[in-house]
Structure 1
Amino acid sequence: MRTGVAELPLHNGKAPRWLFSRMVRLSESVLDYMSYEYNQRELLLRISNPFWFQALSCALGFDWHSSGTTTTTLGALKQACKPEEHGIAFAGGKGKASMRTKEEIGNFGDIFNLPSVKIESMRRASKLATKVDNSCLQDGYQIYHHSFILTEKGEWAVVQQGMMAEKKYARRYHWLGLKTKSFIEEPHEAILCDKKEEKALDMTSRKSEEARKASIDLANDGIKRLNRIITGQRSLDEFTHPEIHFPERHGIHRVDISPAGWKALKIAGEIQPENYEELISISGLGAKTIRALALLSELLFGTEASWKDPVKYSFAHGGKDGIPYPVDTKTYDETIDVLKNALQEAKVGKGEKYKALERLKIFTDI
């Protein structure tokens, strides 16, 4: 289940070495405290909470309202983490590091003596979480950071971030394996961000259920029929609802499906996927092909997909003043108390500890 989304300004550069070293030391203290006082599951629950993650980042010393909140905090946690001691591990990361996620899941799985079937299940979860946020939810943000957090019991969470370079914004997605009943329908529990996109194709919405079914039917029909449909289609203006604005040419032409997409559709016609998760799992079937199938489904069968951005508009803290919705004050206070206790137990100098607590106080007062 995707448990939350946070949206942040996109900042270039990286944290200075002195700051990152301090963040690593404090991160180790937080991991020590959480693994001793609670357990790995509790840490997963908190990492998948956008507010707790934001508060942690602030306490560690990073700019609480920038894209670096995600990448630097997770980098510090990964470096500070000792899988054998903490019973938890951080795989993946930013850019090229994200490409090593699959390998690292296997390595950490071996350290935890997890069965191969569990390791493969987590690898699949990692791949699907990225595919869903990159292609099934087409909100304009491209994933460039992917962290997969796993425990010695084989439980997992995902924190990943996408960027919208032209608007200089980044959006963070949180997933929690414990609550993941479906990767392709309503996978989020809470969504937090600073703004909402006017339109976003959301194939994970419950409102897109019929469009997903129709997409499977179209893919299973084979590429010959799809080719005939596309080359002989009518203008989308003839059927679409007024609030959706398509490109000026108002149509889906062959150019809208890449060669890799056509190859994936050919494979789909051969293997006949039984559900949408199987369909999107086909290599090469990306955002353009998913969108083309959704639009063709509406044209042929009248099955409308959701074009509403699922992000829930909120202030950074989830609306402490009650706008747009009241914050859960009990959870809020408990979240801060846990971080305070972790920082007070930190094995760092008094001055560094005091500054961390002050940063946390500033964050809670914003």
Structure 2
Amino acid sequence: MSQWGIADLPLHEGHVPEYLLRRMKHLGSLIARYIVDVYGPSELLKRLSDPLWFQAFNNVIGMDWDSSGSTTIVHYVLKNTFPPSSLRDFGLAVLGGKGRDALGVKQEALLLDGVLDARSIVDTSRFSARLDSIALQDGYTLYIHGLYVSEKGGVLVVQQGMNVEERVARRYHIYMVKPGVFNVKSDPHSGVASHKVNPALNLLDEESDYTRRAIVEILESTPTGSLVEQVHVVNRLLKGLPSLESYVHGGSIHDKDTVRNRVAKCPIYYRPVRDVNRIEVVAERIKKLAPREFSELLLIPGLGPESLRAIALVADLIYGYTPSFRDPTTHPMDPFLYAFAHGGKDGVPYRVKPREIDKTIEFFTGVLNDLKTGSMEKEILLRNLAKFVGRVKKGI
């Protein structure tokens, strides 16, 4: 069982002042520890798997309400609270991060051995990265990759991609109850939040089921030389040139108008394949490994976005298996309301007031201390407040 979500965020520059970062870490740590202590590690993962809740958490601790830096701040606040070595003590560990830190998952996963199977965590990390960079091609390049691991085996992967041209970042959430068990047979997206919706090559969508099967079958049954020729035919069609078929039969089912109409539906997908020779190398490797499922295909070393797109184009333009172009966004969700808790670093909806954050920190510190001693006074207060806020939100 998997839950997915996506959020688009504008690229912001600048840094968080030290006085504010210190408070963000403290408050974020207290809130996260409270949820873990009261509801368990799996509940925190479940909440973070929702892009709206993730962003609301970011807003409450004082970060810009719509910044691409939200992912970085939340990740490192939680990693500071639950480092890779903390799984045995807290039942939760955070791995990976931004840039080089994203490459450290394999090494950090070794610290989980003895509690969880490190290999399955690494495989989950790798598979998730390939889902959002190869199977889903939406114009974003991944640069943040973080894992949130529960002692019960659940893994939440939060990664972020950048679209430099549009100056926005997109965040992907993947929650797997059982790490190492991969399935791409049905649409894995739920709770998708985004302000930008554009056509994408979406081989994860339910409508791409026949295309996924066709891709695996084509790679299995088509001789490599024939497959390369088919990619050349696809390129001619996309360039508006007559195919060899038109010379033999006096015409082609893929006339220029038909191809032009297809290109307009999803420009990021309907474009010529640049390196056709690369397809030959990848196809030979795939034949040797003989994947039976699309999920197995994604894990084959050397298979990149361009190679998979090329095979998808063959399945589409030659065999008629058109993939889904649905952007995995379901509806825009705006957690701006939560920014009113302490304000935002950028002054929206108002400048952060450090003393107000300190008061919240003091309150949650008391809540956690009371939990240790068995007192439920502040806990009951929080629950009553939550019910009140729920009624207020319904009236907004």
* Fold match (TM-score > 0.5): yes
* Alignment CA distance shift 1:28-1:70 (3 Å): same
**Equivalent residue number for residue 59 of structure 2:** 58
Question: Is the 1:90–1:147 contact (alpha carbons within 8 Å) kept by the matching residues of 2?
Answer: yes
Q: Against the structure 1 CA distance between its residues 19 and 71, is the aligned structure 2 distance closer, same or farther, given a 3 Å change threshold?
A: same
The answer on whether the counterparts of 1:235 and 1:251 sit within 8 Å (CA) in structure 2 is no
Please show how residues 199-214 of structure 1 align to structure 2 within 5 Å: 199-214=199-214
Other structure's SS at 1:308 match? coil
**Given that residues 4 and 49 in structure 1 are in contact (C-alpha distance below 8 angstroms), is that contact kept between their aligned partners in structure 2?**
yes
Question: Matched residues in 1 for 2:227 and 2:185: separation?
Answer: 23
Task: Tell me which amino acid in the other structure corresponds to 1:187.
Answer: P
The match for 1:98 is 102
Partner of residue 346, structure 2: none
Partner of 1:176: 175
Q: Which string of whole-angstrom CA distances, capped at 9 and with x for unpartnered residues, describes residues 39-93 of structure 1? A: 0111111110111111111111111111011111111110122514321010000
Selected match of 1:288 from 285, 306, 312? 306
2:124 matched residue in structure 1? 125
Which residue, 266, 278, 289 being the options, matches 1:271?
A: 289
**Equivalents in 1 of 2:201, 2:299: separation in Å?**
18
What is the distance in 1 between the residues matched to 2:361 and 2:51?
18
Residue equivalent to 1:297: 315
Alpha carbons of 1:343 and 1:313: their partners in 2 closer, same or farther (altered >3 Å)? Answer: farther
Unaligned runs of 5+ in 1: 321-339, 349-356
In the alignment, the residues of structure 2 paired with residue 305 and residue 75 of structure 1 have an alpha-carbon distance, to the nearest angstrom, of: 37
Name the CA distance, whole Å, in 1 between partners of 2:101 and 2:6: 22
Aligned partners of 1:222 and 1:268 also within 8 Å = no
Cα drift, residue 19 of structure 1: 2.0
Q: CA deviation at 1:256?
A: 3.8
CA contact (8 A) 2:231 2:276 kept: no
> Is 1:23 the equivalent of 2:24?
yes
Are the aligned partners of 1:129 and 1:158 in contact in 2 as well (CA < 8 Å)?
yes
Q: What are the superposed Cα offsets for residues 204-247 of structure 1, whole Å, 9 maximum, x if unpaired? A: 11111111111112222342221222334551461648253377
Q: Give the TM-score normalised by structure 1.
A: 0.80
The answer for the alignment partner of 2:194 in structure 1 is 193
CA distance in 2 between partners of 1:166 and 1:12 (Å): 15
> In structure 2, what is the Cα distance between the partners aligned to 1:258 and 1:46?
45
Q: How does 1:32-71 map to 2 (within 5 A)?
A: 32-71=33-72
CA gap of 1:184–1:141, structure 2 versus 1, over 3 A, is: farther
Asked if 1 retains the 8 angstrom alpha-carbon contact of 2:228 and 2:276, the reply is no
Q: 2:331 aligns with which of 313, 316, 325?
A: 313
Question: Over residues 78-133 of structure 1, what are the superposed CA-to-partner deviations in whole Å (9 max), with x where a residue is unaligned?
Answer: 012251432101000001100001221222x12xx235xx3222211111111111
Aligned to 2:140: 141
Q: What CA distance in whole angstroms lies between the structure 2 residues aligned with 1:343 and 1:43? A: 21
Secondary structure of 1:269's counterpart equals helix
Could you tell me how far 1:152 is from its partner in structure 2?
1.7
Q: Deviations over 1:8-56 (max 9, x none)?
A: 1111233222222221111221232122111011111111011111111
Which residue pairs with 1:76 in the alignment? Answer: 77
Query: For 1:237-284, what per-residue CA distance to the aligned partner results, in whole angstroms no more than 9, with x for missing partners?
Result: 616482533779x7645x34473x543321101122101111111111
Cα 1:257–1:123, aligned 2, differ >3 Å: closer, same or farther?
Answer: farther
- For 1:212 and 1:16, locate their aligned partners in 2 and report how far apart those are by CA, in whole Å: 47
Question: Aligned-residue CA RMSD in angstroms?
Answer: 3.1
Structure 2 counterpart of 1:164: 163
**Alpha carbons of structure 1 residues 342 and 274: separation in structure 2 relative to 1, 3 Å:** farther
Amino acid at match of 2:47: R
Fraction of identical pairs, as percent? 31
Amino acid at match of 2:25: V
CA distance in 2, matches of 1:4, 1:74: 16
CA apart distance, 1:342? 8.7
Which structure has the larger Rg? 2
Matched residue type, 1:285: L
Residues 190 and 201 from structure 1, CA distance in 2 versus in 1: closer, same or farther, beyond 3 angstroms?
same
Query: In the alignment, is residue 10 of structure 1 matched against residue 14 of structure 2?
Result: no
Kindly indicate whether the alpha-carbon contact (under 8 Å) linking 1:2 and 1:173 is maintained by their aligned counterparts in 2: no
**What CA distance in whole angstroms lies between the structure 2 residues aligned with 1:27 and 1:53?**
12
Distance (whole Å) between structure 2 residues aligned to residue 148 and residue 131 of structure 1? 14
Confirm or deny that 1:346 pairs with 2:365.
Answer: yes
* SS of residue paired to 1:147: strand
Quote the Cα distance in structure 2 between the aligned partners of 1:192 and 1:251. 28
Mapped partners of 2:337, 2:69: distance in 1: 22
Cα pair 2:185 2:206 within 8 Å, conserved: no
For these two proteins, the number of residue pairs brought into alignment is 325
**1:195–1:319: structure 2 CA closer, same or farther, 3 Å change rule?**
farther
Q: Is the 8 A contact 1:10 1:170 kept in 2?
A: yes
Report the secondary structure of 1:85's partner residue.
helix
Secondary structure class of the residue paired with 2:159: strand
- TM-score, length-scaled by structure 2: 0.74
